[in-house]
Structure 1
């Protein structure tokens, strides 16, 4: 095996939490591909592959280096066409682009406010300092102030999932009867919250929670390889 996935972790290197890395983790499992995981903290990312990236995930597959979870999925689809498809054709790829935009604009922004302090508290001290500076610059306020907005965000978060909830009342996965990369796109941020935060994001009986549990069980329970916070 000559395949390495660089994964963002906190102080506990056995607990990768990046939503984008989780998209790639399930994509690799979907394709049935073996790989090694290289755990990195925020401040170690600039040293990956001699400064090849500022973000994770990064996948090295032999002599090929691929950045960005969507680009990795496209690469895996093209390079391993004999393995189960991540998109189910061009229509599935186009659908995944829409799901990616919706997830980034709706789920990631809301969850970031809800779990921001939990992420900070899970990091090693050197990464906590980086995280505070970079996120306070991004949000234009202190982490503590962002966390206060997250209290109200959590109350309304379930309503943001209504389009997904309606879909999952009709079918077991976003991809239909079986999961596709679109499922992994949405799984990523919810797994992010599960791994770093004890806050209850999804209520029992919610079709989205039922779908999330099914996703955790996929590929021999790859999502459950890291326990909930």
Structure 2
């Protein structure tokens, strides 16, 4: 049995982690069936076998893999059909892009939705989230999110390298989506699941790309958003 351990909110059907969404989309791309296992921030016991403290964690028939990028690499090496990277050079370049996405895109979004995330958690996990994230931010969750209107303009500007990659192709990976598309979409799904923020303007070519991503896999991402 293949299992993907995913972060959930108070509602266990609401899976919102950007890293878990990246892993989920990689599994869907590979055409691999899996059972999603929801766990909350403070529920560490289910992933002890992976020596992990955070999700996503993949249990592939007894082989445990943690970290979304490591999961993507494992899936590529173990199930070579439907490539995620398209070769060792591309995989190495993706590792650099992974760092950029985390620092520029994911951390750019985080303060704009942090109070919204808090609202999706049960009381015990919400208290943990507030304590740890306010220490990281250096202010309250509400103070961080209150700067959204100013922060959003700079965030949108920082996405220009991604827009350039979509000038003549439907996906960041050219004619068909692959790892970079899923890594970015997983990050956007995080915000879309927990917040009503409009990360992209209507005429942004990234918005058109996002619509195409929402339609993939029989509209999987779109249906998950509609269920929230």
Tell me the TM-score normalized by structure 2. Answer: 0.94
* Residue of structure 2 equivalent to 1:177: 175
Pick aligned residue for 1:113 from 106, 111, 114: 111
| Structure 2 runs not aligned, ≥5 long | none
Which digits, 9 at most, give the CA deviation of each residue in 1:163-201, with x for residues without a partner?
A: 111211221111111111111111111111111001111
SS of the equivalent of 2:165 reads: helix
Pick aligned residue for 1:161 from 150, 159, 162: 159
* Residue of structure 2 equivalent to 1:227: 225
Which residues in structure 2 correspond to 1:114-133 (within 5 Å)? 114-133=112-131
Using the alignment, how far apart are the partners of 1:107 and 1:170 within structure 2?
22
| Structure 1 runs not aligned, ≥5 long | none
Structure 1 position 148 matched with structure 2 position 143: no
* Residue of structure 1 equivalent to 2:24: 25
Preserved CA contact (<8 Å) 1:99 1:185: no
Decide which moves more: 13-22 or 136-145: 136-145
* Residue of structure 2 equivalent to 1:47: 45
SS of the equivalent of 2:11 reads: coil
For residue 10 of structure 1, report the CA deviation from its aligned partner. Answer: 0.8
Using the alignment, how far apart are the partners of 1:201 and 1:49 within structure 2?
32
For residue 71 of structure 1, report the CA deviation from its aligned partner. Answer: 0.5
For residue 50 of structure 1, report the CA deviation from its aligned partner. Answer: 3.2
Which digits, 9 at most, give the CA deviation of each residue in 1:123-163, with x for residues without a partner?
A: 11111101001101111222122223333112322111111
The count of corresponding residues between Structure 1 and Structure 2 is 226
SS of the equivalent of 1:163 reads: helix
Using the alignment, how far apart are the partners of 1:84 and 1:184 within structure 2?
14
SS of the equivalent of 1:37 reads: strand
For residue 92 of structure 1, report the CA deviation from its aligned partner. Answer: 2.1
Tell me the TM-score normalized by structure 1. Answer: 0.94
